[in-house]
Structure 1
């Protein structure tokens, strides 16, 4: 027999950042051939869904029988692993949580519909695993409601087989911890290309990462690509240059943190997976994000003003219509621009306001006088 403790988030990076398929594979490969039963102890908030499913299938493929024991929490992707094992035991006082996969999405309507379709497909895969363990249920409703189950509820629903205290047996190995006692977060940050960004994002969140998508880790259920991630960072830092390189963006993050944070000795050892951040740093980063949003709004307003000005100059609209057209641009820019394009240009007749007469002239009379066809006295006679 052998005992494997899976304590921490499920993350494709593994090591300090969480538990990866590679980490689990290394442990399983090191087990003696004589091992016929594995006790898998779980305390995890979940993480990347495909990494979790891969770990589950790796355990299923092993020749040893696997008994999953929930020691504290089996949530999100960790619930998939727990429920997918041949024997699932809830320790007293433990919890299991199931939910629909989530995503931080960025893009137009077509791209968002594609993302929604991906999420539907992922959810159907999760339902297959839950159904194989507990049978047909109203999984769609329970997943949408972020259902939390205590030990008795999990057994009653069928996602667990019993409640019991299971002792360790055989050789033991604990996942979800740094590879060595002298592991330095800053050294790791410096040696991994995007880890500084990951560490900074993790520091802004008080929760452990629960991503259930491949790609960007330490973010819950994320299928967003890195370009969208960069755009979010630029907005929060108040960086307006859309062509900024990865290195320059990293430097901006480092500069913002360096200006606010002074190294201080750690008063208390933080658990694996947690990073502290000064409140003033967080406040400044949030202020930068608001400033960036305000600057973007001003740019959008100026650009739409330019559309109205161009339409006036081309004679597509009259001056009296400019306010209504400007308001419509705020409501439906694409439709309004398309409508303006259907209007013919009319440069032969003035369309801008030319002022008002104090001599009691009508608009037509003022136009005649301005064109030089008659002086004011002749027009008024």
Structure 2
């Protein structure tokens, strides 16, 4: 397959007030320790994180980073090692376009997971290989928004052409009917390695020795992402979650006002992630109390 036969993705962010976020289901199923056995091979790019800037790690897979890496390869064949739970749809579409337009041959290896925005990026490959135990996940764009009914209609209208564009990309890659792809997206479909090959999403299965499991991610980072999911499920806007992250990182969270429930209630609600948080989150208790006061969780 030539990437030139695939449609270009729409560019830009039509609405600055709407952000696309990680799906909790994808985050929960992502094993962040999976990596390529030959990660240090020449002309390789690693996409082993969330798509878009990740405030928890201070890194993430961004169009700026991928573009810079490809420029340094000057048109040589490139291998992209991928294990990502997805993330920012707009960033994913931008990276898809960058890979699609790259002059060299692009091989994408899905080592573990290519969910959501990561699955769109994978479609830009000339040769897409997926682990037998790996998964693709395709769905419509997932966002958190706030406002009145008119604003929600505007958000839905804004998202529709981007969902349609993703459907076109999946359809072109697989040779399947667009409506069939849209049904899979509507259902939030998880596609295993063998099924991905059978259905035309991928070209072949990866050899088992292409993958290894690395060292465990930093305990604090894993716990931080779990906490982020909990806050998202409680309806906290992304901007406020990010602000809280900075408070926790700096160790200077705002003092809670008197009259709130006992902090033990918050600790019980967040017991699992807090059990893993190291000294990096020494001030988490005070910050969590602030959340409880505002959101009554």
Confirm or deny that 1:204 pairs with 2:227: yes
Contact 2:251 2:282 in 1 (8 A): no
Is 1:100 equivalent to 2:140 in the alignment? yes
What do residues 17-58 of structure 1 show as CA deviations (whole Å, max 9, x unaligned)?
311111111211222x4x531111100011111111111111
Q: State whether residues 252 and 283 of structure 2, in contact with CA within 8 Å, keep that contact through their aligned partners in structure 1.
A: no
Which structure 2 segments of 5+ residues have no match?
1-41, 211-216, 257-262, 264-274
Change (3 A) 1:278 1:2: same
Map of 2:160 onto structure 1:
120
Contact kept in structure 1, 2:254 and 2:290, CA below 8 Å: no
Note the 1:1-381 alignment, pairs <5 A.
Answer: 2-12=43-53, 16-31=58-73, 33=74, 36-135=76-175, 136-137=177-178, 138-165=180-207, 204-206=227-229, 229=239, 253-256=253-256, 280-281=285-286, 284-290=289-295
SS at match of 2:52: coil
Q: CA deviation at 1:90?
A: 0.8
Unaligned runs of 5+ residues in structure 1 are 169-176, 178-184, 186-199, 208-217, 237-246, 261-266, 294-381
TM-score (norm 1): 0.49
- What root-mean-square deviation, in Å, do the aligned CA atoms of Structure 1 and Structure 2 show? 4.5
The answer to whether the 8 A contact 1:12-1:51 is kept is no
1:324 aligned partner = none
Higher RCO (CA < 8 A, seq sep 6+): 2
> CA separation in 2, counterparts of 1:43 and 1:233?
24
Retained in 1: the 8 A contact 2:119–2:136?
yes
Superposition deviation, residue 165 in structure 1: 2.1
Distance (Å, rounded) in 2 between the aligned partners of 1:269 and 1:251: 14
Question: Do the aligned partners of 2:255 and 2:286 also contact (CA within 8 Å) in 1?
Answer: no
Higher normalized strand content (fraction of residues): 2
157 and 219 in structure 1: CA distance in 2 versus 1, 3 angstrom threshold: farther
- 2: CA distance between counterparts of 1:251 and 1:44? 29
Q: Is the 8 A contact 1:12 1:19 kept in 2?
A: yes
**Contact 2:197–2:203, Cα closer than 8 Å, also in 1:** yes
1:71/1:269 CA distance change after superposition, 3 Å: farther
Q: Distance in 2 between matches of 1:160 and 1:251?
A: 45
CA distance in 2, matches of 1:251, 1:5: 32
Structure 2 counterpart SS, 1:80:
helix
Rg larger for: 1
- Is residue 47–residue 61 contact of structure 2 (8 Å, CA) maintained in 1? yes
